[in-house]
Amino acid sequence: MRCKDVKKLISLYIDGELSFEKRIKLERHINNCPFCRRELEDLKIIIKEIHNLPKIEPPINFIDNLWYRYQEERTVQRNYKRIFFILGLTFALIFIFLLSQKIWIQKSKSQELQTFYEIHSKWKKSFIFEEPFVDFVLYQNK
Ligand SMILES: [Zn+2]
């Protein structure tokens, strides 16, 4: 057994959860290795100190207060999610509205132009306009 293996198994050894075979191997290593022996001693001291600490009783209503704060926290998180959802939806609707306006304006402009060209071509058939005049009219309507 190497030091690395001892470090992994040392807490199981203290808790008495190692198999007989592993326990013998670990003890053999600890008897020959001052570093691991030191680590085992330190760990035993820490555990002893922890057991000597005074026991503290939780305050009355501790669980109730904890549950209340947890619920409060969850409500705040839900509200944030709701606000972000509503904001996102609003921006999406505004974007769709603006896009439809732009498309509608472009469509009505092209319809106006088409109507103008139709009228122009009818005039051209019935009257003889000079080209510079027609160009001038087209230029004015751009
Ligand atoms: Zn060792």
Residue 65 lies in a domain: no
Looking at the domain assignment, is residue 66 inside a domain? no
Do 80 and 48 fall within a single domain?
no
Please report, rounded to a whole number, the percentage of residues in the chain having pLDDT higher than 70: 87
Residue 76 has pLDDT above 90, yes or no: yes
Within its chain, how far is the Cα of 50 from the centroid? 39
Q: Are 29 and 85 part of one and the same domain?
A: no
pTM of the model: 0.42
Ligand 1 center from residue 5 Cα (angstroms):
8
Distance 98 CA to ligand 1 centre (A): 74
| Statement to judge: residues 100 and 132 lie in one domain | yes
* pLDDT at residue 119, as a whole number: 82
Looking at the fold, whether 91 and 122 belong to one and the same domain comes out as yes
Which tokens sit at 9? Answer: 């198994």
Residues 132 and 78 in one domain: yes
CA-to-CA dists, residue 15 to 10, 11, 30, 140, angstroms = 9, 6, 16, 96
Give the separation between CA 65 and CA 72, rounded to whole angstroms: 10
In a domain, 44, yes or no: yes
Q: Does any domain span residue 64?
A: no
Give residue 141's pLDDT. 59
Residue 61 forms part of a structural domain:
no
Both 97 and 39 in one domain: the answer is: no
Å from CA of 7 to ligand 1 middle:
8
- Which residue range forms the structural domain that includes residue 120? 71-140
Q: Are 92 and 134 within one domain?
A: yes
* Judgement on whether residues 102 and 130 belong to the same structural domain of the protein: yes
- Both structure tokens of 100: 């439809």
Q: How many domains does the chain have?
A: 2
pLDDT at position 121: 79
Retrieve residue 78's tokens. Answer: 């839900």
Whole-number Å distance, alpha carbon 67 to ligand 1 midpoint, is 47
pLDDT of 68: 94
My answer on whether 78 and 135 are in the same domain is: yes
